[in-house]
């Protein structure tokens, strides 16, 4: 019978034996109560399907206009990248860079990495580390909230027509939440070739 694997708590460093979990189960540290790992429902297949769907919605969100503004017979529409360029040309380089990184670059990198990690039987430890490191910087939901607030404030000044990308971003926000619940780094760490892995879950 194989020996039980050991796992270290990320909060208090206590070494504990890994135990099998039912679908949807959560293992917590016996000392501090921090979450050690989860057994997500659906497994890799569900996570991969959600990732590919999110990638499609992400592409739509960047190809089509977010909103159209109609005022005094004039109509203006812009995409997310167009908004970044406008900020750049309006001498708001720092804000433009922040929007570009958190709503374009990082989400694209995260979705690409997750698709690769979930599709291959033996994922790369380096790629998994990069994915976990960039996850906190993907702020699609923060951007969505900002857009909704802006639309609400402009509604009395002009006619606001939501674009395809706005609806797509809304669906993408929900999908990212579902991905957070189904993407299981612990399971992926167990599949990483031992020679390439120097980290725990």
Q: Same domain for 103 and 62?
A: yes
Residue 158 within a domain:
yes
Domain that holds residue 35: 1-39
CA distance 126 to 128: 5
Query: Could you tell me the pTM of the whole model?
Result: 0.76
Q: Does residue 168 lie within any of the structural domains? A: yes
Total domains present in the chain: 2
Let me know if residue 178 belongs to a domain: yes
Residue 88 belongs to some domain of the structure: yes
Residue 21 is assigned to a structural domain of this protein: yes
The reply to whether 20 and 3 lie within a common domain is yes
Asked if residue 1 has pLDDT above 60, the reply is no
Q: Report how far Cα 46 is from the mean position of its chain's Cα atoms.
A: 15
Token digits of residue 54: 């999110």
| Percent of the chain predicted with pLDDT > 70 | 89
Task: State the DSSP code for 152.
Answer: H
Residues present in the chain in total: 201
Same domain as 156, residue 100:
yes
Is 201 part of a structural domain of the chain? no
pLDDT at 198: 45
Clarify whether residues 73 and 146 are in a common domain.
yes
pLDDT at position 195 is 53
Same domain, 67 and 30: no
Minimum mean pLDDT range among 1-10, 19-28, 60-69, 121-130:
1-10
21 and 58 assigned to the same domain: no
Calculate the CA 71 to chain-centre distance: 35
Q: What is the pLDDT of residues 6-57, one digit of tens each?
A: 888 888 888 888 888 777 778 888 889 888 887 777 678 889 999 999 999 9
Per DSSP, helices labelled H in the chain are 43-63, 80-89, 93-100, 106-119, 125-134, 140-154, 164-182, 185-191
Decide if 123 is inside a domain.
Answer: yes
- How much is the pLDDT for 4? 61
Residues 34 and 48 in one domain: no
Q: Supply the mean pLDDT for the chain.
A: 83
pLDDT recorded at residue 82: 87
> What's the whole-number mean pLDDT along residues 172-195?
82
- For the four alpha carbons of 15, 17, 20 and 25, in that order, the dihedral sign comes to negative
d(CA 98, CA 173): 18
Residue 123 burial by CB count (10 A; 0-12/13-18/19+): exposed, middle or buried? buried
Do 22 and 77 fall within a single domain?
no
The two three-digit tokens of residue 168, written as one number: 């797509």
Q: Residue holding tokens 């070739």? A: 193
C-alpha R_g of the chain = 21
Question: What are the tens digits of pLDDT across the range 160-182?
Answer: 778 888 899 889 999 998 888 88
If asked whether residues 22 and 63 sit together in one domain, one would say no
Q: Are 10 and 28 spatial neighbours (Cβ–Cβ below 8 Å)?
A: no
Residue 80 lies in a domain: yes
Exposure of 143 by Cβ count < 10 A (0-12 exposed, 13-18 middle, 19+ buried)?
Answer: buried
The answer on 118 and 34 residing in a single domain is no
Residues 100 and 68 reside in one and the same domain: yes
17 and 73 belong to one structural domain:
no
pLDDT at site 78: 80
């Amino acid at each position: 019978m194989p020996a039980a694997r050991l796992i270290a708590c990320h909060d208090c460093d206590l070494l504990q034996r890994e135990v099998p979990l039912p679908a949807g189960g959560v293992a917590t540290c016996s000392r501090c109560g921090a979450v050690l790992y989860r057994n997500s429902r659906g497994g890799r297949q569900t996570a991969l399907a959600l990732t590919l769907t999110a990638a499609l919605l992400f592409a739509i969100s960047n190809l089509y206009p977010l909103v159209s503004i109609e005022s005094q017979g004039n109509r203006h529409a812009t995409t997310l990248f167009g908004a970044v360029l406008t900020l750049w040309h309006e001498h708001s380089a720092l804000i433009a860079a922040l929007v570009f990184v958190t709503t374009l670059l990082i989400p694209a990198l995260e979705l690409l990495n997750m698709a690769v990690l979930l599709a291959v039987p033996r994922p790369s430890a380096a790629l998994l580390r990069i994915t976990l490191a960039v996850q906190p910087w993907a702020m699609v939901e923060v951007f969505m909230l900002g857009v909704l607030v802006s639309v609400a404030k402009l509604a009395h000044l002009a006619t606001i027509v939501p674009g395809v990308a706005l609806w797509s971003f809304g669906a993408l926000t929900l999908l990212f939440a579902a991905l957070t619940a189904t993407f299981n780094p612990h399971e992926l760490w167990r599949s990483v070739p031992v020679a390439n892995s120097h980290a725990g879950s």
